[in-house]
Amino acid sequence: MVRVEAWLLKGLLGLMWVLPVWMNTTSERCRALHAVKDQLNSTLRRRYLKQNFPINYTIQVPYEEVFRLHNISRLLNNSRLMEGEPVEVVHLQYLWLHVAKAGIKKILRVLPERHPTRRKYLTQLENLFRLYEQSYGGKNSQEDTQDIPEIIDDILDRIGDPNFEGGRSVRPKSLIDNCYRTMHCLFKECFSREEDQYDYCNVLHWRQRKATTPRPT
């Protein structure tokens, strides 16, 4: 009995030592994500990715770069039903980062050097993602992301394939809208508050929010 109590005490002391370090790292990571969120706010997305483009303008991207809320639930659910390595949220966070970076690069590729969306918006957004990746998003920055499941590795390979064929035609704003919504779903601990009743992974939440958001005058 004494040995059990000593073991529990040792574990508790270890947790008390690790917990402040973990909380500090999490809060710093959340601050970095909030900087990304500020740059992804709806006013800036509308101005630079809708109003600055021709009506119904689209770009061609691989299917895997259209990363939406239902992709998150599908990957999590399918990995539980199939044999092999399970997909965890941390793996999807890693995928989210690469999808976001790829989407920004696709949009930048079609913009002239002096286009205001390039100079005043996407360049800053790309820098924020680069800073986040250097501190928190690298493959070796977390133990949980060192062994990426095969299904996620396959998606990453297709995203990085410069010779992809087919894909989908999407509006630039849609790519960044998806980035904004999936960020809230995958990093709930950074954006949820106790008084919130929102489920950021629920498509209905975003539809209701869009319906109640007043249009700018």
Contact at 8 Å (CB) between 174 and 58?
no
Percent of the chain with pLDDT over 70: 74
pLDDT digits (tens, 9 = 90+) for 17-33: 433 433 445 688 899 99
Q: CATH for 55-212, among 1.20.1250.80, 3.40.710.10, 2.30.30.140, 1.20.1730.10?
A: 1.20.1250.80
Across 122-197, the runs of DSSP E, i.e. the strands, are 168-170
Among 7-21, 87-101, 133-147, 182-196, the minimum mean pLDDT is found in 7-21
- Domain layout of the chain by residue ranges: 55-212
Closest CA to 179 of 123, 99, 124: 99
| Cα distance between residue 12 and residue 103, in whole Å | 44
Closest CA to 91 of 82, 99, 101, 103: 99
Q: Sign of torsion, CA 127 56 93 91? A: negative
Contact at 8 Å (CB) between 117 and 111?
yes
Q: pLDDT value at position 83?
A: 64
Helix %, strand %, coil % of the chain (to 5): 70, 5, 30
